[in-house]
Structure 1
């Protein structure tokens, strides 16, 4: 949002929109990604990979992490362009100056973040609900939601560390964005996102899905038919229906 406050937010000659309205693109793309994933992406993946479930859970999370990296790169490039125009027009010392760059340059990064969050949420929620023991499904959803709190906490901590490390001479984050180095902060986020993706792939490589573990132990799962009393997804695999071969 802070980027948008220094950019041209006009539509037409006189109408100006609020910077906070950029969240519409974020939320809207999240809502749009879910049906696209369900109706378009999954059928394509089923045909290409010849797997009935389409993208598996950890693959879905990986796609979300990759999109988040691309979003940070897009944010960095946009900020560099914005600073270049601010310096070109001599607006660096004026914190209220409007850089001659449309706010809609920020839309791609919001679209990427929205799609990335959608893929990550779908994969995480599906993973927790399907892989956890039956008695822990409720707890797993609570743990899933607690990641939001942890994310806000670590974001605040990262901002504080950046403030302390960069010092006062060449700070990355300042009130006047035209004098700051916000693009360095975005590069840092991109690097941390790449590291996070690498660690996730290493961990996912060694994970064995519950269905495969049960098959290796000589057990198999039966699909549960929809029931009017069922409170869970009709596609979930449930332990009470485990049978020996």
Structure 2
């Protein structure tokens, strides 16, 4: 029995069936993962038999190269997706750790006691403010001054910028934690006299990093999936955040297990922050995010868009 692969020409861009929606984006043939092209192989006898029954039978019995190519594009975004899982875990983990920091600091504001969890408002404010200022003020002002539209970073570049800001956020958080510990040891009390407002810079940096990563991540996955599979791209973005919860919890457990002694001494992150080394955890996470950034850059450079 003879087999032939479908032509890598017009049949790749369209299914070659009359009545198809011509508004669907054309998918260019990828040089990698060529073995998926075998899904388009049909026998001469089967083709003649199916064509005798009509083109609809042909459509539902064999895959076109267009369909095979859609699978390859989904697989090619997976390395980028994997790199975003650890960054999502860091974003989720930091918010809870920042609240733990704030609970051991001076929370007095005039006659009020600031709830530590309310400081996350600075994260939300910085995220929304940055996005609004970028669209409403920064870009229009640039166009007015330079007389041309700015060259904005692509989705992949925006994710990389967000990872860089995340590293800076972790370093700042580590130094603030060291300062909090020094105030607590000097006072000889469980609560540090350092004001909780020292956490504002790291909250705002985290919000800007989230603005870069989450917005670009959502746009990237929805734009780089073939037409009809945009919901899958959105699902990948959300699944990255969901897995980040588990990865962050697992990472924290492993670090505590490794850094704790067998004599009942807690690890770097313990219930009593004055007896642990939370700043070391921040610096370690910054180092791992830097490694993740390097891997991400390699994957982003090798990626070829749809």
Asked if these proteins are the same fold (TM beyond 0.5), I'd say yes
Q: Is residue 224–residue 233 contact of structure 2 (8 Å, CA) maintained in 1?
A: no
1:187 corresponds to 2:280: no
Number of aligned positions between the proteins:
203
Aligned partner of residue 36 in structure 1, secondary structure: helix
**Shift in Å at residue 41 of structure 1?**
4.7
**Shift in Å at residue 208 of structure 1?**
2.3
In structure 2, the residue matched to 1:176 is 272
Q: Deviations over 1:101-137 (max 9, x none)?
A: 1001001101011110111111111111222111211
> Which segment drifts farther, 31-40 or 175-184?
31-40
In structure 2, the residue matched to 1:86 is 184
1:16 corresponds to 2:113: yes
Instruction: Supply the distance in 2 between the matched residues of 1:90 and 1:54 (Cα, whole angstroms).
Output: 51
Change (3 A) 1:137 1:47: farther
Q: Deviations over 1:15-48 (max 9, x none)?
A: 1110010111111111112112323455549998
TM-score, normalised to structure 2, is 0.62
Q: Is residue 222–residue 232 contact of structure 2 (8 Å, CA) maintained in 1?
A: no
Change (3 A) 1:81 1:126: same
Q: Is residue 65–residue 116 contact of structure 1 (8 Å, CA) maintained in 2?
A: yes
Structure 2 unaligned regions, length at least 5 = 1-98
Q: Is residue 4–residue 106 contact of structure 1 (8 Å, CA) maintained in 2?
A: yes
Alignment of structure 1 residues 72-151 onto 2, 5 Å: 72-91=170-189, 97-151=190-244
Alignment of structure 1 residues 31-42 onto 2, 5 Å: 31-42=128-139
> Which one has the largest radius of gyration?
2
Q: Is residue 42–residue 54 contact of structure 1 (8 Å, CA) maintained in 2?
A: no
TM-score, normalised to structure 1, is 0.77
Instruction: Supply the distance in 2 between the matched residues of 1:75 and 1:134 (Cα, whole angstroms).
Output: 42
Change (3 A) 1:58 1:163: same
